[in-house]
Structure 1
Amino acid sequence: MKKLFLIFMIIPVMGCQTNQKPDKETVLKIINDDLNFPRTIDYEIFCSDPAHAKKLLNLKLDTTGMVTIQKTQKLKDIGSPLISFTEAAQPYLIQPTEKQRKLDIQKVKIAEETIDNIKLGNRSESNGKTSIPVTYTVTCTNITPFSALIKRDFSKPINRSAALLFTDGKWKLIKP
């Protein structure tokens, strides 16, 4: 009888300890899975659009050898792509879908975002639920020459915050 009593006392104690503060590796995995990190930042270039051709000219991507741009078109060439990509741009091109190919749309890689520097706050409990605030840094790596297309300083990290909530026996990310 005493053994049975001990078993029933140990099980609840062990169950209460499962919501201990997770380690940083576990938090990193949760964030990566829920927010799809690491992820690629991309940009769609409409190769037949004169506005996109002008933007690439203004950013001097033609002089850096990434693209060639037809500056004039004959009447018979209207509707054909104004922008083509050089051999130097090939590592930064994302394989287009069939629909994108028909519409002369080419996606280019801008950079890759990864999670860095995770900090866990103090654990708090309310209404029987345990939560932990999390701050993390999003950094960009593998920045390409096409990053000029987006007005953002990719060298500066971005600080983000979220919370982890312990429900159904596991930690879940709650986005702000």
Structure 2
Amino acid sequence: MKKLFLIFMIIPVIGCQTNQKPDKDTVLKIIRKELNYPRTIDYDIFCSDPAHAKKLLDLKLDTAGMVTIQKTQKLKDIGSPLITFTKAAQPYLIKPTEKEKKVDIQKVKIAEETVSHIELGNSTESNGKKSIPVTYTVTSTNVTPFSVLMKRDFSKPIARSATLHFSDGKWKLMK
């Protein structure tokens, strides 16, 4: 009977020891959930703005067949969109909200970001709280022709860092 009692006392104590260093899969799940990975990088194009039309012309998105740009407007056409998107651009367009439609804003997909690699640092403890530094690598996939709108090299991965803290019986990401 005493042995049975000891077994039932040891199991809950062992089960509560969850503040040990989490494995990489657990950390990856936490990062994906807390930071919303994988995620889409988008860009707002103001279709009635001459500055946006000039930028698209300078980046040659019209010659790439993604947009059609109205270079001149008649007086009666002022306020109407200068930029329209071609059939080739359709897979990269994000459905606009009603508010965006009213002011002629079109979101375009630039790329998708995913977490590709995780490194866990050494855990530290201060004031009775455990924490672990985490370094993770973000890579861009499904890069679209609209990626030229952003001054970034999407072929290079980005190293980011965060810290995991153990509190309330679980690991939480501190951004």
TM category (shorter chain) comes to over 0.9
Q: Report SS of the residue matched to 1:18.
A: coil
Deviation, structure 1 residue 38: 0.8
Deviation, structure 1 residue 116: 1.2
Question: Is the aligned partner of 1:10 residue 2:10?
Answer: yes
**Partners of 1:48 and 1:99 in 2: how far apart?**
14
Alignment match, 1:79: 79
Q: Aligned ranges for residues 103-142 of structure 1 at < 5 Å?
A: 103-142=103-142
**Partners of 2:153 and 2:66 in 1: how far apart?**
20
Number of aligned residue pairs? 175
Q: 1:2-55: per-residue Cα shift (whole Å, max 9, x none)?
A: 447625751564155311211111111100111111111100101011000000
**Partners of 1:16 and 1:90 in 2: how far apart?**
52
Q: Report SS of the residue matched to 2:63.
A: coil
**Partners of 2:27 and 2:104 in 1: how far apart?**
41
Alignment match, 1:32: 32
Alignment match, 2:102: 102
**Partners of 1:21 and 1:40 in 2: how far apart?**
31
Identical pairs, percent: 82
Q: 1:138-176: per-residue Cα shift (whole Å, max 9, x none)?
A: 11111101011111111111101111111111110011x
Q: Report SS of the residue matched to 1:17.
A: coil
Moved beyond 3 Å, runs of 4+: 1-5
Q: Aligned ranges for residues 42-81 of structure 1 at < 5 Å?
A: 42-81=42-81
Alignment match, 1:93: 93
**Partners of 1:13 and 1:47 in 2: how far apart?**
62
TM-score normalised per structure 2: 0.94
What amino acid is the match of 2:80? Answer: S
Q: 1:50-106: per-residue Cα shift (whole Å, max 9, x none)?
A: 000000000000000000000111111111110000000000000000111111110
Alignment match, 2:150: 150
**Partners of 1:66 and 1:36 in 2: how far apart?**
29
Say which is worse superposed, 132-141 or 12-21, in terms of deviation.
12-21
**Partners of 1:14 and 1:129 in 2: how far apart?**
19
> What is the root-mean-square deviation of aligned Cα atoms in Å?
1.6
**Partners of 1:69 and 1:131 in 2: how far apart?**
53
